[in-house]
Structure 1
Amino acid sequence: MPDTSGPDGAAPLDTPPTRREAARARRAQSAADAGPTFQTQIRAARSEFESQVAHARAEFEEANARLKQRTGRDIVLAIVIGLAAGVLVLASLLFLKWIFLLFALAAASLGVFEFTRALQAAGRRVDLIPQLIAGALLLVSGYFAELWLHWVATLAAVAFVVVWRLLGQMFARDGRTYGAVLSDVIISGFVQLYVPFLASLALVLLSQDGGEWWVLAFLIVTVVADTGAYASGLAFGRGGRHPMAPRISPKKTWEGFAGATVVALAAGVLLALYMLGLPWWAGLIFGAVILGTATAGDLGESMIKRDLGIKDMSSWLPGHGGVLDRLDSILPSATAALALFYLLSPLAVR
């Protein structure tokens, strides 16, 4: 081997690098040079992505704010809550329909609670506990009892809350006028007929053979009619708005009703053909009747709230108001759906 030591046996002299070592050094230098450039590109891309997200979020919040200003409600939150409730209802009807009884009990009880509290705040004497007890028994009888026995239960529920109110007034001895007492008694009976009784008719329908499909059908028509009215009112109700009932509900327009009519009739036909096994013309009848009762129920509750001087029955459902504000169009539609079941179900293809 050649001698690589320095003069006089000093430390070895540096040798020139081999080709492999030189190539490795060049690659290391290239990676070192490219490192900052690659990291800079990553940072720039991330910054651009964050900027795009922030811009999209700002535009979304701005659009949501404009909708909230026009409608007075948080539309996005309302949609989320509506979808969650829809999933629960759909699951209960498709898998174990008796679970829908629990859902109806909870919704109707909350509706009675809201209505009673609103009446009490307006100076009416309505007893909450008897209303809740009678309402729950009325709903249970709608699902389990025969139809004639359910009518007996309805009369018993109304009589129970009326007698309770009269006895409560007797023990109060507060000098309340005869007219005010009579008004309290009538309103107490009305609470039972308006919320638990109408809700119980949906359970009467549910208890029928295949009744879960009819319940689901009338709920779908009610929801799509409400959605269609809202979307059509926003799209075509600007500028030349034509209010349906300005003294009752100024925001409801004929433009919105036209949109609700189109989607309700279309939904009725599709449900009749593919869910209920009815002729297409029966679907038109189904959609038109449910649309009429849903609209009447919506306007009716608006009239009640206007008389009480409130906008919503409560604020339990953000973007919707109260539970009763969501049941206003469903409750009277349950009566129509039950009647349509008896009239149209013989036409169903078996």
Structure 2
Amino acid sequence: MDDAGDGLDADLDQSDPASADEVDEVRPPGASRAARGGRNLTVATVVGLGLLVATVAAAWFDPRVFAVLVYGFLVAAVIEWRRALLLQGRKVPMVPLVLATLGMGSATWFGRAEGLTVAVLVGLAGIVAWRAVDERIENTLADSLASVFTLLWIPFLGSFIIMMEQADNGWQRVVVFVVAVVGNDTGGLFAGMLWGRHKMAPTISPNKTWEGFVGGVVLGTVAATVAAMLLLDGRWWLGTLVGLACTASAVLGDLAESAIKRDIDVKDMSSAIPGHGGVMDRLDSLLLAAPAAYVVFAAALGTLGR
């Protein structure tokens, strides 16, 4: 989601020919070149709406279904990330990472925050031990640190989404959270395309602009405010706080993934989601926004209360 071809937060300065050329370079194989803005907006919109509806429906229908959906995406993201690291010579073990991710899911479901804490510690120990018994000694420290980072970045942060869902009004919290992030992505995209002129972080994500950032914050916060007013007994102020926290965190998540992808020389994690790139290209902003939303909700309503 860091460049114009990655996700809904790509803020493309349409007046800059170099930006359009760069978009062509980062477009994954097989992607349409019809949209010079970097991707087929129709496909991206349809797929994005489908994912949004499926997520909200699962959260409303049954927390167990929602948990399976979330951890399915997290496992897919871990596998994508591992593949990207392998291309750079980092040996990140898939089996213990996937097992640790699933273990976090079970521990979070049954033990909430305490269970997640224990699962993280066990997972970290298991991953380091797995690498330690490997016969190869080259790059042991670098590989172990990459594995630890993967575990903390993807399944640990993603588990906060499940902890939000476990509250008495869990699905409502999840909807406000998701609406804030989607609003930020959408507002950033269109504000950047229409008015984007001033680069936000040109060395990390050349197509991000301050105009897009403002547009994302405004739309994300307004959307979360309206959602909270409708779903959380009129507490619009809580939606405003969640919206501000999520939009700021989402942008940091986008930039963080952009910097990491540039460091490992990867443009898109995969082409698994038409119009959006890989699973990680959809999750990057959600991952950092999830703990931010969880903390705001917990401070205002308690971890389980209404």
- What's the CA shift string for 1:34-68, capped at 9, x where partnerless? xxxxxxxxxxxxxxxxxxxxxxxxxxxxxxx7872
Alpha-carbon distance between aligned partners in 1 of 2:203 and 2:210, rounded to the nearest angstrom: 14
Describe the superposition over 1:260-299 as per-residue Cα deviations: whole angstroms up to 9, x where unpaired: 1211221122122111235333332221111111111111
Q: Give runs of ≥4 in structure 1 deviating > 6 Å.
A: none
Within the candidate set 256, 270, 273, 1:317 is matched to: 273
Tell whether 2:136 aligns with 1:172: yes
Which residue number in structure 2 is paired with residue 61 of structure 1? none
SS of 1:68's equivalent in the other structure is coil
Picking from 171, 181, 204, the partner of 1:212 is: 171
How many aligned positions are there? Answer: 274
2:200 corresponds in structure 1 to 244
Residue 209 of structure 2: aligned partner:
253
Q: How does 1:173-212 map to 2 (within 5 A)?
A: 176=138, 180-212=139-171
1:299 counterpart residue number: 255
* Structure 2 counterparts to residues 49-64 of structure 1, below 5 A: none
Q: Please, which runs of 5 or more residues in structure 1 have no aligned partner?
A: 1-64
Superposed, 1:127-142 pairs within 5 Å as 127-142=93-108
Q: Which moved more, 1:319-328 or 1:72-81?
A: 72-81
**Alignment counterpart, residue 143 of structure 1, candidates 109, 133, 154:** 109
TM-score (norm 1): 0.75
Per-residue CA distance 1:168-191 (angstroms, 9 max, x = gap): 1xx235xx2xxx321111111110
Asked if residue 112 in structure 1 is aligned to residue 78 in structure 2, the reply is: yes
Which letter does structure 2 place at the counterpart of 1:68?
A
Whether the 8 Å CA contact 2:177–2:290 is kept in 1: the answer is yes
Aligned: 1:79 with 2:48 = no
Task: Please give the per-residue CA displacement for 1:115-161, whole angstroms capped at 9, x wherever unaligned.
Answer: 00000111101011111111111122112214223211111111111
Cα displacement string for residues 285-321 of structure 1 (whole angstroms, at most 9, x for unaligned residues): 2211111111111111111101110111111112111
| Larger RCO of the pair (alpha carbons < 8 Å, separation 6+) | 2
Q: 1:146 to 1:76 in 2, by over 3 A?
A: closer
- Counterpart Cα distance in 2 of 1:206 and 1:269: 19
SS of 2:207 mapped into structure 1? strand
- Give distance in 1, aligned partners of 2:143 and 2:82: 11
- Give per-residue Cα distances to partners, 1:50-95, cap 9 Å, x unaligned: xxxxxxxxxxxxxxx787212x222111112112212211211122
Q: Within 2, Cα distance between the matches of 1:67 and 1:313?
A: 22
Distance 1:343 1:278, change over 3 A: farther
1:9-47 Cα shifts (integer Å, max 9, x gaps): xxxxxxxxxxxxxxxxxxxxxxxxxxxxxxxxxxxxxxx
The letter for the 1-side match of 2:266 is: I
Q: Give the corresponding residue for 2:189.
A: 230
Tell me if the contact between 2:228 and 2:235 (Cα under 8 Å) persists in the aligned partners: yes
**CA contact under 8 A between 1:143 and 1:206: conserved in structure 2?**
no
CA deviations 1:91-121 (Å, max 9, x no partner) are 1112212110111121001000000000011
Alignment match, 1:275: 231
Number of the residue aligned with 1:95: 61
Q: Tell whether the 8 Å contact from 1:293 to 1:336 is kept in structure 2 after alignment.
A: yes
Q: Which residue of 1 is the match for residue 16 of structure 2?
A: none
Counterpart of 2:288 (choices 332, 335, 341) is 332
Stretch of structure 1 that moved more, 184-193 or 86-95: 86-95
Matched with 2:125 is 159
Q: 2:4 matched to which residue of 1? A: none
RMSD over aligned Cα atoms: 1.9
Question: Is the Cα–Cα contact under 8 Å of residues 33 and 39 in structure 2 kept in the other structure?
Answer: no
Larger radius of gyration: 1
Which amino acid counterpart does residue 147 of structure 2 have in structure 1? Answer: S
**Residues 1:284 and 2:240 aligned together:** yes
Structure 2, unaligned stretches of length 5 or more?
1-31
2: CA distance, partners of 1:79 / 1:310? 24
Provide TM-score, normalisation by structure 2.
0.85
Which residue does the alignment assign to 1:58? none
- Of all paired residues, the percent bearing the same amino acid is 38
**Structure 1 or 2: larger helix share?**
1
